[in-house]
Chains A and B, each alone.
Chain A
């Protein structure tokens, strides 16, 4: 890591040094952006179901862990802004959706964490919200694309499917509830992992010699 570490003394030829706040946002935003451009694009190409939930979980782990290291208000949002800009480097087609997803996830974490940055419960809440958002983002995008008719169509499909399968009324809501519960479990786990990662990284950064080996 010694060789070739970029300096932020003159980031864009302006001669103005970036503040520690923006430097940290740049580093973690770059990390998130790289993940979105590489792993996100790969999962998108594989057409895996709930790939967005996986990406959101990774983002939550990183954002929550980052807030364990630096308890500065607005840092998660700034990191999201940088990551969304890094996403513009993605060679894929339409990037508005992923960019919006990044910004919404960053905003949700930002809203949940400032009051209790070190709280596991707040981190779990942030994880759950992000997980739910990423799952329902697809529906939201379709609503934006096709208008409210798409919702009516999906509801009609659900009713018809229930009729064909002779399912009792309200069975669809139980399925929906199950999916939401699963998403909440994934979200809370990612929030908890974020807190753990943050605490462990903090200890390693502070302890002489400990960061060298993993």
Chain B
């Protein structure tokens, strides 16, 4: 897709022609017919010697027809009618003005044709770099490299816009345009992501989702807490809530909610004889959900890693911590969400959250997880290619 292949080879160096162009431009500025005719003549001879392709580009019948028509109209409409030509009353001033318009139009068109060819040369990018706009030159090269990808997106988005009636077609086209814009923005985000994994994520990129998946009682919360300790030892700020279970005589009697950052705890759920939400044998305190939502919202602004425990049947049904997580939106600045997920709900929750980037077993080595998953390869594995579909 580089420019070099798209343009015919240029004959010789073009800077003398550029100097002649400037001279001709200066000569015709006063606006008289002789000066403009001279400028046109000199420029046509220059093109004949320097760039015949640009000269050939002047063969554009529509342009010349329009110019002649304007010249004739000028003879008819401008000034006093003091000349008769074939029964038509014309104006000498108008005809002169028309001739000047044709000459000037021809000269400017020839100049634009030559300049357009110069702009197409690969040298345009080098010139931009020479002028100090090195980044612009590189950005142009990057834009050219992007064209096939954008063309693919464009084709895919438009292909999905097939509709029979006109109104529906317009609506689908608008949707395709939006999708194209969104894809370009996410492409820009992926490409501008910092190489340094430790630097902050752009606020426009979704966080990486790492799930610790296991059945009830398999040690998900313990794994999360071990990971949190390892992260803290490395100086990484951790926030979020965990939901440790309460046991009495070996029997689960309820849950408490613990704020990871402050260590604060509240009672959250108690075993109940009647089945509660989603058939669970626990009664959840509505104030607990509010407490959790508030903590998540506050800590997602400060922490690099956000922990959320016990995503299960409630969340799979659209309730529980899920709404709090989804409502974080723009406020969230955490790079990684570390989630404890019940194995039988992992598929549904993965779909709801757009896929997990990594899925771990409870009891996994925290140091290994930190090195290989949370801190490593924040670039490619983070948001696209490495996303493991649950």
Contact = CB atoms under 8 A, between A and B. Distances in A.
Contacts of A94: 57, 109, 112-113, 116
A89 B182 contact: no
Interface residues of A, number: 75
Contacts of A29: 139-140, 143
B77 A153 contact: yes
Interface string B130-142: 0001111111111
B119 A88 contact: yes
B369 interface: no
B326 interface: yes
A127 to B, nearest CB: 16
B207 A149 contact: no
Interface stretch (B41-49, B189-197, B311-319): B189-197
Interface of B is mostly: helix
A201 B154 contact: no
Interface in A38-66: 38, 58, 61-62, 65-66
Given A22-B135, A88-B119, A202-B330, A207 B206 contact: yes
B352 interface: yes
B119 to A, nearest CB: 5
A69 B112 CA distance: 37
A210 B354 contact: yes
A138 to B, nearest CB: 12
A211 interface: yes
Contact of B73 (A6, A157, A197): A157
Contact of B144 (A23, A89, A147, A203): A89
Interface of A is mostly: helix
Contacts, number: 238
A69 B109 CA distance: 40
A86 B125 CA distance: 11
Please indicate which of the listed interface residues B57, B144, B145 has the most CB atoms of chain A within 10 Å of its own CB. B144
A22 B138 contact: yes
Nearest to A33: B143
Interface stretch (B12-20, B97-105, B252-260, B264-272): B97-105
B355 interface: yes
B168 interface: no
Contacts of A149: 74, 78, 97-98, 100-101
A27 interface: yes
Interface residues of B, number: 87
B203 A146 contact: no
A34 B108 CA distance: 27
Contact of A209 (B135, B136, B352, B385): B352
Interface stretch (B80-88, B172-180, B216-224): B172-180
A127 B378 CA distance: 39
B116 A147 contact: no
A18 B204 contact: no
Interface string A1-20: 11011111101101011111
A204 B186 CA distance: 10
B119 A69 contact: no
Contact of B354 (A12, A82, A209): A209
A168 interface: no
8 contacts: A6-B191, A26-B142, A93-B60, A99-B119, A156-B78, A202-B204, A203-B330, A205-B189
Given A5-B191, A31-B184, A206-B332, 11 more contacts: A6-B191, A8-B142, A20-B202, A26-B146, A27-B191, A30-B143, A81-B136, A205-B189, A208-B206, A208-B354, A209-B353
